[in-house]
Amino acid sequence: MKAKFQFLSFFSAFLVLIACNKDKVSVVEDICHTWEVKSFMSLESVAYPKNENTPILLTFKKDGTYSLKLDINSCGGTFASGKNNQLEMDFPACTEACCDSQFSSKLATMLPQVTSYSIEGSILKLHVPQWGYIECEILSSSLINPNP
């Protein structure tokens, strides 16, 4: 009986130790990284298909600026984040007003409407009230341009 109790105690402790280990999934807590814009989660998302061959990159910098690399154009602007993951983004100033995909054009027009964000593991969600959200995934450090 004592041996069974010791075995069960050891087995229970082992299970607790394994269960408490963090997943090996990248967990990001700060918005200031380079993110690949993956999709729109909105009723309108079907109208704006993303070209999977062209990564759309959004980089938030610690100085309060952001850069946006669309299909063709590059853009930039400023942002401010606050308590409870509030986020305000200026309208992006882009190099040209043509040539980008419908997805990229819609993204550029939606960024100033973002009011908050959430980060779940390596996924960033930029929330737009009464519309949905923009889903982004962090780039691995080996893919991030060191001078964005």
Whether 112 is covered by a domain: the verdict is yes
- Residue 38 in tokens: 């993956």
Q: For residue 45, what pLDDT is reported?
A: 87
pLDDT of residue 27: 57
Q: Of residues 63 and 97, which shows the higher confidence score? A: 63
The whole-angstrom separation of Cα 135 and Cα 124 is 6
Q: Which two tokens stand for residue 82?
A: 């606050």
User: What are the distances in angstroms from CA 18 to CA 8, 11, 12, 67, 73?
Assistant: 15, 11, 10, 41, 48
In whole angstroms, give the CA distance from residue 5 to residue 125.
Answer: 48
The predicted pLDDT at position 46 comes to 86
Q: Decide if 147 is inside a domain.
A: no
Instruction: Name the pLDDT band for 73 (thresholds 50, 70, 90).
Output: very high
Q: Which two tokens stand for residue 4?
A: 């069974």
In a domain, 8, yes or no: no
Q: Can you tell me which residue has the tokens 């853009």?
A: 75
Please check whether residue 99 lies inside any domain of the structure. yes
Q: Is 148 in contact with 59 (CB distance < 8 Å)?
A: yes
Number of domains in the chain: 1
Strands (E), the chain: 34-42, 56-60, 65-69, 74-81, 87-89, 93-94, 116-120, 123-128, 132-138
The stretch 91-110 carries a mean pLDDT of 91
Please state the pTM of the whole predicted model: 0.75
pLDDT of 81? 93
Q: Which residues pair with 97 in a beta bridge?
A: none
Residue 90 in any domain: the answer is yes
Asked whether residue 10 is assigned to any structural domain, the reply reads: no
**Residue 71 near residue 51 (C-beta atoms within 8 A):** yes
Region 50-75 average pLDDT: 95
Residue 99, pLDDT > 50, answer yes
27 falls within a domain: no
pLDDT, residue 55, reads 95
9-62 pLDDT, tens digit each: 444 433 333 333 344 344 567 899 999 999 999 988 888 989 888 999 999 999
- Residue 89 inside a domain? The answer is yes
Give the CATH number for residue 115. Answer: 2.40.128.270
Q: What is the pLDDT of residue 1?
A: 53
CB 99 within 8 A of CB 71: yes
143 has a pLDDT exceeding 70: no
The C-alpha atoms of residue 114 and residue 116 are separated, in whole angstroms, by 6
User: Regarding predicted confidence, which is higher, 16 or 123?
Assistant: 123
Domain of residue 83: give its range. 34-138
Q: What is the greatest pairwise CA distance in the chain? A: 78
Asked if residue 141 has pLDDT above 90, the reply is no
